[in-house]
Amino acid sequence: MKRRQRIAFVAADIPAARQARQALIRRYGQTPPDRADVVVALGGDGFMLQTLHRHLGRGVPIFGMHRGSIGFLLNEYRETGLVERLARATRVKIHPLRMVATTVRGTRRTALAINEVSLLRQKRQAAKIRILVDEVERLPELICDGVLLSTPAGSTAYNLSAHGPILPLGANLLALTPISAFRPHHWRGALLPHTATVVFEMLEDEKRPVSATADHTEVRDVTRVEVREDRSIALTFLFDPEHNLEERVLKEQFAP
């Protein structure tokens, strides 16, 4: 006899998510997240990202249901039929970006990003950033409010707000997108192979301080940031077949 999947329900700290969690636990029971076969995350996209980061090392699949504000990474919320939905769910695997940031004081911080690594000016003066791709200088000086490197999963988030391209999940690309670029004013970014290693070097780093953020982890006063995809880590999203993430990414490119 096939064992029933052990499900853990986790919820954002908002009333709609907490109420949904209690209703689902009453119907399906609850397994501690560290022993579950699947984790059901209830909230918005921000909470979904927190849940993915919390379970990075386990490889447990995450099925999100929308009980928050933005739900691009989430399925529709329904109490009934969850076991059947999980059984027929489409699996989407992605790999995070690994950021290694060095500060002006010489300290190094490492963090993972599922959506993007973004660099932003900390004060009133624009940042000056040199960009290298696979050890080749591509931009000797970008004067800007910032710049980001996005995964396909994150391309519809901050990257899209910065007028970057939407990337299909299977494209094996990363989006390098400037944020309010002043010079070169015509540069709109680049599409890079997912194997690329990108290095950002801050110019005039003390006069023009810059912070680097990998999803929720911020490092201030950076002087050098190296970013590459970490293929040793795989994250698994679960989506209803009729509304999977690849279809959502495609639809977003034709949104009015």
Taking CA atoms, 208 is separated from 25, 119, 134, in Å, by 51, 12, 25
Q: Which two tokens stand for residue 202?
A: 């801050």
For residues 65 and 147, give the distance between their C-alpha atoms in angstroms, rounded to a whole number.
31
Which residues on adjacent β-strands are paired with residue 239?
90
With H, G, I as helix, E, B as strand and everything else as coil, classify residue 72.
coil
Give the Cα separation of 114 and 157 in Å (integer). 11
What is the C-alpha end-to-end distance of the chain, expressed in Å? 50
Catalytic residue IDs: 45
Nearest 10 degrees: Cα torsion 172, 231, 90, 73: -80
- Show Cβ contacts of residue 188 under 8 Å, excluding neighbours closer than 6 positions: 163, 177, 178
Query: What tokens does 234 get?
Result: 């795989």
Helices (H), 62-210: 82-88, 158-161
Tell whether the torsion through CA atoms of 34, 35, 41 and 45 is positive or negative. Answer: positive
